Amino acid sequence: MRPKIAVIRGDGIGPEVIDATLSILERIVEADFIEVRAGKRYFMETGLPIEEGGMEKLRESDALLKGPIATPTRGRTYSSVNLRIRREFDLYANIRPFKSYEGISLRRMNLVMVRENVEGLYSGEEELYEDKAITKRVITRRGARRIAEFAFRLAEDEGRSRVTAIHKKNVLKLSDGLFLEEFYRVAAMHPGIEADDYIVDAAAYRLVKVDDPFDVMLLPNLYGDILSDVAAGVVGSLGLCGSAQVGDNYAAFEPIHGTAEDIAGRGVANPIGTILAASMMLEWLGSRYGLADLAQVGRRMREAADRTVRDGILTPDLGGGATTREVAEAVLDRI
Ligand code: NAI
């Protein structure tokens, strides 16, 4: 089988890190890459956030590799393409691995965040009254259960020993209460994996304060969004971290960072996070379609990216002088 991979290059540094990653993928896998235009730049040119027929193109593909997309908070704006893709394909699990590098990271860390990706404060349910705005924080039993099951399965598959649920049940008694109730119900079905929980503010402190703070973290949407940037800071740069957004039938892979307008167009963005996201994509495609070779290439790509960083081939966000292209070439050499 020859996978069809949709590609959204995105805004800001998106095209730079995506092109660098494609320059590797095109050399190591047999696949069709199908560009889908979307994002702020496309919107400014055409008035459309995603090209006509774009969602169809995604539906016809096996996976999506994407760069960050800007959602302007001021001026002419549009509803988030990211949220639309997550909802349309029900990409309910956002998986973000964080692994430290000696001499670069602030602390030792090897953890995976499993973030609930379609509910919580990103429910999209908002109401505006004259002097009052309300955003509904929705946590459903089904949503809480399936993301907890996902986290325990991931722990088992990766040989990890503990899953920690992150919450604020002391204040958000009902919504986080339900999240936690389902977590422990699912935990009881996985006796081989330890289960515990942490209040979100204490978890933020622990992330920066101790080595090996967590193993697998299970987080409602907003906590996952915020704590993953904290973890990226500890690892050393937002540019070092990749993510997978997974549903039952489709998945999208992207770096965790945004469009980084401050460095866009200079060829110095760190492509490692996007390369790691692409390696997760190959592993996901490999396991979904029983393509052991593809999964193997994905693992090699991840190891090569890690080695490139350990070998000190670094972009300026990590104090180095390498360009985006040079880092990608170094990864390819190591594959
Ligand atoms: P950002 O992640 O773009 O930038 C934060 C800081 O990290 C900046 O100093 C930037 O230079 C640095 N940085 C980020 N990625 C880097 C890389 N690969 N290499 C080197 N340095 C890097 O966060 P910000 O400024 O909050 O977001 C900008 C825009 O991105 C917003 O419009 C936001 O909505 C969008 N965004 C999109 C995401 C997506 O499409 N998945 C995710 C996060 C933000």
Query: Phi, psi (5° rounding) for residue 169?
Result: -65, -25
| 257 CA → ligand 1 middle, Å | 4
Q: Beta strand 216-219 with 110-116: parallel, antiparallel or unpaired? A: parallel
CA of 69, closest atom in ligand 1: 40
d(CA 138, CA 98): 27
> How much is the pLDDT for 41?
93
Q: What is the pLDDT of residue 261?
A: 97
Q: For ligand 1, atom 6, which residue shows the shortest CA distance?
A: 260
Neighbour count for residue 140 (Cβ, 10 Å): 15
Residue 138 identity:
V
Type of residue numbered 278: A
CA of residue 130 to ligand 1 center, whole Å: 33
Judging by DSSP bridges, how do beta strands 63-66 and 110-116 pair with one another? unpaired
pLDDT in tens, the chain (335 residues): 899 999 999 999 999 999 999 999 999 999 999 999 999 999 999 999 999 999 999 999 999 999 999 987 777 777 789 999 999 999 999 999 999 999 999 999 999 999 999 999 988 899 999 999 999 999 999 999 999 999 999 999 999 999 999 999 999 999 999 999 999 999 999 999 999 999 999 999 999 999 999 999 999 999 999 999 999 999 999 999 999 999 999 999 999 999 999 999 999 999 999 999 999 999 999 999 999 999 999 999 999 999 999 999 999 999 999 999 999 999 999 99
Cα of 258 to ligand 1 centre, how many Å?
3
pLDDT of res. 284? 98
Whole-number Å distance between alpha carbons of 273 and 313: 14
- The full set of domains in the chain, from first to last, is 1-89+273-335 (no CATH), 106-235 (3.40.718.10)
Helix (H, G, I), strand (E, B) or coil at 172: coil
Q: How far is the CA of 317 from the centre of ligand 1 (A)?
A: 12
Q: What is the DSSP letter of 312?
A: T
Q: Which residues line ligand 1 (CB under 6 A)?
A: 13, 17, 68-71, 82, 237-239, 254, 257-260, 262-263, 269-270, 273, 315, 317
Nearest CA to ligand 1 atom 5: 260
Q: Which two tokens stand for residue 141?
A: 């039993």
Tell which residue, 82, 10, 16, 62, has the closest CA to residue 281. Answer: 62
- Note the maximum CA span of the chain: 60
Residue 243 zone, left/alpha/beta (φ > 0; ψ -120 to 50; rest) = beta
**Planar angle of CA 146, 212, 199, nearest 5 degrees:** 55
Closest by Cα among 282, 330, 324 to 306: 330
Q: What is the number of the ligand 1 atom nearest to the C-alpha of 262? A: 11
Burial of 300 (0-12, 13-18, 19+ CB in 10 A): middle
The CB density around residue 9, as the number of other CB atoms within 10 Å, is 23
11 CA from centroid of ligand 1 (Å):
10
In angstroms, rounded to a whole number, what is the distance separating the alpha carbons of residues 8 and 6?
Answer: 7
Q: Exposed, middle or buried, 42 (CB in 10 Å: 0-12/13-18/19+)? A: buried
Ligand 1 atom nearest to 257, measured from its CA: 2
pLDDT of res. 73: 77
Closest CA to 36 of 70, 16, 59, 12: 59
Q: What tokens were used for 31?
A: 């696949």
Look up residue 250 and give its two tokens.
């489709």
At residue 75, the pLDDT reads 73
Side-chain-facing half-sphere of 232: CA atoms under 13 Å: 23
Q: Which atom of ligand 1 is nearest to the CA of 17?
A: 18
Which of 103, 183, 94, 195 has its CA nearest to residue 144? 183
Q: Record the pTM.
A: 0.96
55 Cα to the center of ligand 1, angstroms: 24
Residue having the nearest C-alpha atom to atom 4 of ligand 1: 260
3-state secondary structure 142-179: HHHHHHHHHHHHHHHHCCCCEEEEEECCCCCCCHHHHH
What's the 253 CA to ligand 1 centre distance in angstroms?
Answer: 16
Q: Relative to the CA of 269, which ligand 1 atom is closest?
A: 19
